[in-house]
A and B are shown apart, each in its own frame.
Chain A
Amino acid sequence: MKIIRILLVLIMFHCEQKNLLDLDDNVDLLVVEGWLTEGEKTQQIKVTRTTSFASPNKEIAVDNAQIELIENGIVTVQFIHDSDGIYRSENKFSPISNSAYQLQIVLPTGDTVISANEILFPSITIQEIGFGFSLQSDPLNPRDEILVYYPIVFASDLSTNNENYWWLVNKNGVLFNEPKDIYLLSDSFFNGKSFRNELTEFAFSEGDSVGITIYTLSPDAFQYMAQLKNQTVSLGTNSSIAPAKISGNLRYKNKNDAVLGYFGVLAGSSKGVLITD
Chain B
Amino acid sequence: MLHRLIIITYFSLSLVDLAYCQKNTQEINITKDKEGNAAEILSNLQTEFNLSFVYGNASIVEKKLYIKADKYNLRELLVQISRQLEVKITIVSGSILLIPLPLKYTLSGFIRDEKTLEALIGATVQLGNTKIGAVSNNFGFFSLTLEPGVYPIQVKYIGYEATFDTLILTSNSIKKDYSLKLSEQKLDEILVNSLTSDEYLSSPISGGAILDLQKKNPLPFFLGEVDALQEILYYPGIKTIGEDANGINVRGGGVDQNLILLDDAVIYNPNHFYGLISVFNPDAINRLELMKGFMPSQFGGRASSVINVIQRDGNRSTHSISGGVGPLSARFLAEGPIVKNKSSFLISARQSLLNLTFPRLISKSVDNSNSNFQEVNLKLNYVLNDRNTFYIAGYTGNDSNRNGFDAIKRWGNTMISSRWNHTFLPNWFGHFLLIYSDYRYRIEDPVEVGSFIGRSGIQQTSLKTDNELYLKKNHQLLFGLQSTYYKLRPGERLPFNEQSSLQDTLQLDNENGLEYGFYVAYEGKPVSYISLHAGIRWSGMLAFGPGTQYIYSPKNTRSIDSIIDSIRYDAGEIISNYSGIEPRISLSLQVHKNHSLKASYTKNFQYLHLISTTSTPSPTDIWTLSSPYIKPLNNSHWSLGWYQEYFNHVLLLSIEGFYKFQRNILDYKDGSDLSFTNNPETEILSGVHRSYGLEIMLEKKNGKLTGWVGYTLGKSERKITGTFSGERINNGKYFPENFDKKHSTNTVLSYQFRTNWSVSSTFTFQSGRPITVPSGKYYFNGILVPHFEGRNQNRLPNYHRLDLAIRWDWHNSKAKRYADFLTFSAYNVYGRKNVYSYQFQNSTSDPDETTLIPFVIFESIIPSVTYNFKF
- Cross-chain contact of A260 among B778, B781, B837 (Cβ < 8 A): B778
Q: Which of chain A's residues have a CB closer than 8 A to the CB of B713?
A: 11
State how many residues of chain A have any CB contact under 8 Å with chain B.
74
A15-B798, A50-B776, A238-B836 are contacts. A196–B448 as well, Cβ < 8 Å?
A: yes
Q: Are A23 and B773 in contact (CB under 8 A)?
A: yes
- A-B contacts, 17 of them at CB < 8 A, read A11-B745, A21-B794, A21-B838, A27-B787, A28-B776, A31-B780, A33-B780, A53-B850, A59-B779, A152-B448, A175-B782, A182-B783, A189-B502, A223-B673, A227-B671, A239-B618, A242-B615
A53-B850, A189-B502, A244-B788 are contacts. A23–B774 as well, Cβ < 8 Å?
A: yes
Q: Which of chain B's residues have a CB closer than 8 A to the CB of A24?
A: 773-775, 789-790, 793-794
Residues of chain A having any CB pair with chain B under 8 Å = 4, 7, 11, 14-16, 18-29, 31, 33, 35, 48-56, 58-59, 134, 152, 175, 177-179, 182, 185, 189-190, 193-198, 200-201, 223, 226-228, 230-232, 234-247, 260-262
Alpha-carbon distance between A173 and B243 when the two chains are bound, in angstroms: 42
The 5 A-B residue pairs whose C-beta atoms are closest, nearest first, are: A236-B839, A50-B776, A244-B670, A24-B775, A200-B405
Q: Are A51 and B274 in contact (CB under 8 A)?
A: no
A196-B449, A201-B405, A228-B783 are contacts. A51–B776 as well, Cβ < 8 Å?
A: yes
Alpha-carbon distance between A190 and B502 when the two chains are bound, in angstroms: 6
Q: Are B850 and A11 in contact (CB under 8 A)?
A: no
A27-B787, A177-B783 are contacts. A244–B774 as well, Cβ < 8 Å?
A: no
Alpha-carbon distance between A235 and B850 when the two chains are bound, in angstroms: 15
Alpha-carbon distance between A11 and B709 when the two chains are bound, in angstroms: 14
The answer to whether B485 has its CB under 8 Å from any CB of chain A is no
A22-B794, A242-B613 are contacts. A223–B671 as well, Cβ < 8 Å?
A: yes
The answer to whether B493 has its CB under 8 Å from any CB of chain A is yes
- With A15-B765, A27-B787 known, 4 other A-B pairs at CB within 8 A are A189-B493, A190-B501, A240-B615, A242-B668
The answer to whether B551 has its CB under 8 Å from any CB of chain A is no
Q: Closest CB-CB distance, B359 to chain A, in whole Å?
A: 11
Q: Closest CB-CB distance, A28 to chain B, in whole Å?
A: 8
- Cross-chain contact of B447 among A51, A194, A200 (Cβ < 8 A): A200
Q: Which of chain A's residues have a CB closer than 8 A to the CB of B447?
A: 198, 200
Alpha-carbon distance between A236 and B857 when the two chains are bound, in angstroms: 12
- Cross-chain contact of A189 among B450, B673, B742 (Cβ < 8 A): B450
A153 to chain B: closest residue by CB? B449
The answer to whether B173 has its CB under 8 Å from any CB of chain A is no
The answer to whether B132 has its CB under 8 Å from any CB of chain A is no
Q: Which of chain B's residues have a CB closer than 8 A to the CB of A31?
A: 778-780
Q: Which of chain A's residues have a CB closer than 8 A to the CB of B448?
A: 152, 195-198
Q: Are A51 and B777 in contact (CB under 8 A)?
A: yes
The answer to whether B395 has its CB under 8 Å from any CB of chain A is no
Q: Are A29 and B776 in contact (CB under 8 A)?
A: yes
Q: Are A48 and B778 in contact (CB under 8 A)?
A: yes
Q: Closest CB-CB distance, B276 to chain A, in whole Å?
A: 12
The answer to whether B616 has its CB under 8 Å from any CB of chain A is yes
Q: Are A237 and B839 in contact (CB under 8 A)?
A: yes
Q: Closest CB-CB distance, B722 to chain A, in whole Å?
A: 14
Q: Are B778 and A193 in contact (CB under 8 A)?
A: no
Alpha-carbon distance between A232 and B782 when the two chains are bound, in angstroms: 12
Q: Which of chain A's residues have a CB closer than 8 A to the CB of B848?
A: 56, 58
The answer to whether B797 has its CB under 8 Å from any CB of chain A is yes
Alpha-carbon distance between A105 and B19 when the two chains are bound, in angstroms: 89
The answer to whether B855 has its CB under 8 Å from any CB of chain A is yes
Q: Are B614 and A238 in contact (CB under 8 A)?
A: yes
Q: Closest CB-CB distance, B363 to chain A, in whole Å?
A: 12
Q: Which of chain B's residues have a CB closer than 8 A to the CB of A49?
A: 778
- Cross-chain contact of A239 among B493, B506, B614, B671 (Cβ < 8 A): B614
- Cross-chain contact of B776 among A52, A226, A227, A237 (Cβ < 8 A): A52
B493 to chain A: closest residue by CB? A189
Query: Which of A21, A177, A223: most chain B CB closer than 10 A?
Result: A21
Q: Are A56 and B743 in contact (CB under 8 A)?
A: no
B850 to chain A: closest residue by CB? A53
Alpha-carbon distance between A54 and B448 when the two chains are bound, in angstroms: 40
A238-B244, A243-B786 are contacts. A58–B775 as well, Cβ < 8 Å?
A: no
Q: Are B502 and A226 in contact (CB under 8 A)?
A: no
A15-B743, A237-B837, A238-B616 are contacts. A261–B780 as well, Cβ < 8 Å?
A: yes
Q: Which of chain A's residues have a CB closer than 8 A to the CB of B506?
A: 189
Task: List residues 609-638 of chain B with CB under 8 A from any CB of chain A.
Answer: 613-616, 618
Q: Which of chain A's residues have a CB closer than 8 A to the CB of B798?
A: 15-16, 19
The answer to whether B795 has its CB under 8 Å from any CB of chain A is yes
Task: Give B432-469 as 1s and 0s: 1 = Cβ < 8 Å from A's Cβ atoms.
Answer: 00000000000000011110100000000000000000
Q: Which of chain B's residues have a CB closer than 8 A to the CB of A232?
A: 783-786
Q: Closest CB-CB distance, A204 to chain B, in whole Å?
A: 14
- Cross-chain contact of B791 among A22, A27, A240, A242 (Cβ < 8 A): A242
- Cross-chain contact of B785 among A189, A231, A241 (Cβ < 8 A): A231
Q: Are B797 and A18 in contact (CB under 8 A)?
A: yes
Q: Which of chain A's residues have a CB closer than 8 A to the CB of B840?
A: 53, 235-236
Q: Which of chain A's residues have a CB closer than 8 A to the CB of B787?
A: 27, 29, 50, 245-246, 260
A53-B777, A195-B448 are contacts. A236–B671 as well, Cβ < 8 Å?
A: no
The answer to whether B218 has its CB under 8 Å from any CB of chain A is no
Alpha-carbon distance between A240 and B244 when the two chains are bound, in angstroms: 13
Q: Which of chain A's residues have a CB closer than 8 A to the CB of B795?
A: 16, 18, 21
A199 to chain B: closest residue by CB? B447
Q: Are A11 and B783 in contact (CB under 8 A)?
A: no
Q: Which of chain B's residues have a CB closer than 8 A to the CB of A50?
A: 776-778, 787
B274 to chain A: closest residue by CB? A238
Task: Give B461-493 as 1s and 0s: 1 = Cβ < 8 Å from A's Cβ atoms.
Answer: 000000000000000000000000000000001
Query: Which of A177, A194, A235: most chain B CB closer than 10 A?
Result: A235
Q: Are A177 and B781 in contact (CB under 8 A)?
A: yes
- Cross-chain contact of A53 among B504, B671, B774 (Cβ < 8 A): B774
Task: List residues 807-848 of chain B with CB under 8 A from any CB of chain A.
Answer: 836-840, 848
The answer to whether B772 has its CB under 8 Å from any CB of chain A is yes
A24-B789, A50-B787, A197-B449 are contacts. A236–B781 as well, Cβ < 8 Å?
A: no
A136 to chain B: closest residue by CB? B404
The answer to whether B579 has its CB under 8 Å from any CB of chain A is no
Q: Are A226 and B767 in contact (CB under 8 A)?
A: no
Q: Which of chain B's residues have a CB closer than 8 A to the CB of A189?
A: 450, 452, 493, 501-502, 504, 506
The answer to whether B517 has its CB under 8 Å from any CB of chain A is no
Q: Are B773 and A245 in contact (CB under 8 A)?
A: no
Q: Which of chain B's residues have a CB closer than 8 A to the CB of A178?
A: 783
B365 to chain A: closest residue by CB? A237
Q: Closest CB-CB distance, A81 to chain B, in whole Å?
A: 18
Q: Are B711 and A238 in contact (CB under 8 A)?
A: no
Alpha-carbon distance between A196 and B793 when the two chains are bound, in angstroms: 45
A11-B713, A182-B783, A200-B447 are contacts. A236–B778 as well, Cβ < 8 Å?
A: no
Alpha-carbon distance between A213 and B92 when the two chains are bound, in angstroms: 104
Alpha-carbon distance between A238 and B856 when the two chains are bound, in angstroms: 10
Task: Give B740-768 as 1s and 0s: 1 = Cβ < 8 Å from A's Cβ atoms.
Answer: 00110100000000000000000001011
A229 to chain B: closest residue by CB? B783
Q: Closest CB-CB distance, A190 to chain B, in whole Å?
A: 5
Q: Closest CB-CB distance, B305 to chain A, in whole Å?
A: 23
Alpha-carbon distance between A24 and B773 when the two chains are bound, in angstroms: 7
Query: Which of A15, A23, A245, A262: most chain B CB closer than 10 A?
Result: A23
Q: Which of chain B's residues have a CB closer than 8 A to the CB of A134?
A: 405
The answer to whether B288 has its CB under 8 Å from any CB of chain A is no
Q: Are B775 and A25 in contact (CB under 8 A)?
A: yes
The answer to whether B536 has its CB under 8 Å from any CB of chain A is no
The answer to whether B310 has its CB under 8 Å from any CB of chain A is no
- Cross-chain contact of A11 among B671, B711, B788, B791 (Cβ < 8 A): B711
Alpha-carbon distance between A157 and B849 when the two chains are bound, in angstroms: 41
Q: Closest CB-CB distance, B84 to chain A, in whole Å?
A: 58
Q: Which of chain A's residues have a CB closer than 8 A to the CB of B404?
A: 200
- Cross-chain contact of A27 among B274, B772, B775, B783 (Cβ < 8 A): B775
Q: Are B791 and A196 in contact (CB under 8 A)?
A: no
Alpha-carbon distance between A55 and B774 when the two chains are bound, in angstroms: 12
